[in-house]
Amino acid sequence: MNKTEVLIHPVRLSILQYLCIHKKATTSEIISSLPAVSKASIYNHIRLLEQNQIIEVVQENRIRGTIEKIYSLKKVAKNNDFNAILTFLLSLLSDFQKYYEKEPDPTKDMLFAGRDYLLLTDAEYQQFIQEHEKLCQKYYRKNSPGAKLRNISIISAPVNEKEKEELDE
């Protein structure tokens, strides 16, 4: 089972969202947050997430002869490793969940999600990134009357040949 297959299970995704929001948690805290799921099932999902190096034990407490483990999302080694991207996506998902828990007005709030495919050489891509950074810097500290803090997220990934063929059709 690859990491994507591990992640797409709804219970495991709920565990990861909980850890993303709370930063760290015991198994008991995770179990309390998912009352509809059996304890045994949650233990199995946590074990699978730990085996796949998506979560890690960050602390162990000895309690009456047993050891209570405290988990968190696995620490990020580099900005472009799988866990860094996972943490980014989970925090983005968590932000959208918080937004939709209120009484949202996506039109008024100008909510936008889009996906574009750009055909760029490595040099053109570097130029694109530099221009993007320059544009963000222009608005980074700007504080105009009525301004709202907005989350602008960009993810860049290469497209495999099969996906590229589907786009061309």
**What domain range is 124 assigned to?**
106-168
Residue type present at position 112: F
Q: Give the ranges where the chain is alpha helix by DSSP (H).
A: 3-7, 10-22, 27-33, 39-51, 82-101, 122-140, 161-168
In a domain, 122, yes or no: yes
In a domain, 100, yes or no: no
Domain count, the chain: 1
pLDDT of 40 > 90? The answer is yes
In a domain, 22, yes or no: no
pLDDT of 169 > 80? The answer is no
What would the pLDDT profile of 42-100 be if each residue is shown by its tens digit? Answer: 999 999 999 988 899 999 999 888 899 999 988 776 666 777 777 778 778 777 877 88
The structure's pTM equals 0.64
In a domain, 135, yes or no: yes
pLDDT of 37 > 90? The answer is yes
In a domain, 72, yes or no: no
**Residue 11 CA from chain centroid, whole number:** 15
Neighbours of 4 (CB within 10 A): 9
pLDDT of 18 > 70? The answer is yes
Q: pLDDT value at position 108?
A: 85
In a domain, 159, yes or no: yes
What would the pLDDT profile of 97-146 be if each residue is shown by its tens digit? Answer: 778 888 888 888 888 888 888 888 999 999 999 999 999 888 887 788 88
In a domain, 33, yes or no: no
Q: pLDDT value at position 80?
A: 67
Per-residue burial over 117-146, b = 16 or more CB atoms within 10 Å of its CB, e = otherwise: eeeeeeeeeeeeeeeeeeeeeeeeeeeeee
Q: What is the Cα–Cα distance from 34 to 13, expressed in whole angstroms?
A: 11
Q: What is the Cα–Cα distance from 22 to 9, expressed in whole angstroms?
A: 20
Task: Tell me which H or E stretch contains 80.
Answer: none
In a domain, 130, yes or no: yes
- How much is the average pLDDT of 2-25? 87
